[in-house]
A = this chain, B = another copy of it.
């Protein structure tokens, strides 16, 4: 289908510029969406940091990424960033929100064109209250089939995609495992270390510090510069070489992964994934073909010698056919067309309403770091549906 000329406002996160120089998966995806839609002839306005780069029109409030300048208050500039887009809502045929839950509350407050929200994950169970409240105002896209909240109805799964041309395909398997991302228990760096040591294979770690305490106690003590190497965060070109030269990417998450951009980046380089059989990973990795799914550390250690036998070409092909930027753009164009045809989101289904009334903590995919039981907005939504 063609949506050429459609005026789309795309709201990117502002933790980093779009695209980011190094870490910044959400900003990277927002960049690729803006570029891809623009190439397809849509009239895209990207709302991102002032130092962003795009072929779309750029509008911004915050000069640089919040994480680039400690003096910037993320709450204040986040709110102004969102408000800037909604203050121009009349200029657009569709708004695509790729900046978490807060924009939903502005959509509740305004009369805006159809809104499509990509849910990159639920940072805490409490934020479900915002999604439930806004269910009549926004269409939702999940980034994997696994990462769906049973209390929401979804328009589509729109897998993240990358430009395969931005990654160098390497035909020969390397001799080390690689861990890429950020240091947080849920990303399982400690498991990657354990697996590499027990399998007798070198591990290279490139990540940004998020949970510093975790890094200090669970990662740093194992770094010896040889068997376990810590490279710091790596930027674009170094990342490409690091991924391409690896035997496999280790992605042993401890809670269900939502998507996992690094997995498709690795596969684009021909590098398979040694991953947990959990969350989105079984959707992204074809077990025994583009990677090996593992039930636990034992299983992973046993699988390491088999990684060499996987077809690196199959990994690359998997990205080209399913996780490329163009497939992502196709998925969004389809989602946009359906949102425009519907106008407003359908009323929640009975099963969604029932799920909202069930206790979040009874659900199968709970968060590992449980704290307080949240109150959430149940079926009795105080926001009346707009006619």
Contact = CB atoms under 8 A, between A and B. Distances in A.
A311 B241 CA distance: 81
Nearest to A102: B79
A108 B127 contact: no
Given A87-B108, A109-B109, A109-B110, A101 B76 contact: yes
A76 B375 CA distance: 11
A379 interface: no
Interface in A69-87: 69-73, 76-77, 79-80, 82-87
A377 B84 CA distance: 13
Nearest to A106: B109
A108 B133 contact: no
Q: Assign chain A's interface to a size class.
A: 35 or more
A217 interface: no
A221 interface: no
Given A83-B106, A108-B80, A382-B84, A71 B375 contact: yes
Given A129-B77, A130-B80, A70 B105 contact: no
A108 B129 contact: no
A109 B83 contact: yes
Interface in A26-78: 60-61, 63, 69-73, 76-77
B373 A84 contact: no
Contacts of A105: 79-80, 82-83, 106
A124 interface: yes
A130 B130 CA distance: 22
- Count chain B CB atoms within 10 A of each CB in A85, A105, A110 and give the residue with the most: A105
A375 B60 CA distance: 15
8 contacts: A71-B373, A72-B374, A73-B124, A80-B105, A80-B130, A86-B109, A87-B383, A106-B109
Interface of A: 60-61, 63, 69-73, 76-77, 79-80, 82-87, 89, 101-102, 105-106, 108-110, 124, 126-127, 129-130, 133, 372-375, 377, 382-383, 386
Given A73-B127, A76-B130, 14 more contacts: A61-B383, A70-B372, A71-B372, A72-B126, A73-B124, A73-B126, A76-B101, A76-B126, A80-B105, A80-B108, A80-B377, A87-B109, A89-B109, A105-B106
